[in-house]
Amino acid sequence: MPITPLHGLAPMFLYFKEKTKIDPLALTVSATFIDLETLYYFIIGEPLNHRILHGFALASTVYPILITVGVYLVEYVFEGRLWSTYNVLRLKPNQVRYPLLNIYLCSLTGGFSHVFLDMFTHQNMPYVIYPLTNGNPFYIGSSSIIVEVAVILLALYSCMQWLRR
């Protein structure tokens, strides 16, 4: 199973390819915060910890809207701090505040990519394509190592792009 930081790094190469359109905050937050659901269920001791957020229904509707509102507010209120944070991280952005549509599309991309990558590696994801079916028909068992290697390679590619800046 791809660990949460790799979910955030895997799509970051998109930012390095098109800095004017891709919001790194929206992309990273949407690709990683979806695992707060997993953390919550793990903390309360539930055996099934990938639930409704780990499905395309919410990851493509409610979740990106919530992330968009949050990221938009953060970019508006903390613009100066984001500039300094991005400079410390050597992201070298062209801008810190992105248009609402760009934030939404990046939030949609991050959440969708997270569910897409997890659906091959987690057997217990009953809401992947809910309400069409209950369960995860995409789980590929021990072949999921292919997806995990692909995520690692995407994360490494993103890091290489990052270090080139």
pTM of the model: 0.92
pLDDT at 10: 95
Query: What Å distances lie between residue 107 and 24, 61, 118, 132, 136, CA to CA?
Result: 10, 10, 17, 24, 23
Torsion over CA: 75, 78, 84, 88 (sign) = negative
**Model pLDDT for residues 60-88, shown as the tens digit of each residue:** 999 999 999 999 999 999 999 999 999 99
The per-residue pLDDT for range 11-33, each reduced to its tens digit, is 999 999 999 999 999 999 999 99
Tally of domains in the chain: 1
Position 37 scores a pLDDT of 92
- Domain extent, residue 130, equals 4-164
Structure tokens at 146: 């292919």
> What is the b/e burial string over 127-165, where b = at least 16 CB atoms within 10 angstroms of the residue's CB?
bbbbeeeeebeebeeeebeebbeebeebbeebeeebeee
pLDDT in tens, 113-160: 999 999 999 998 999 998 888 889 999 989 999 999 999 999 999 999
- Residue 5 to residue 38: CA distance in whole angstroms: 14
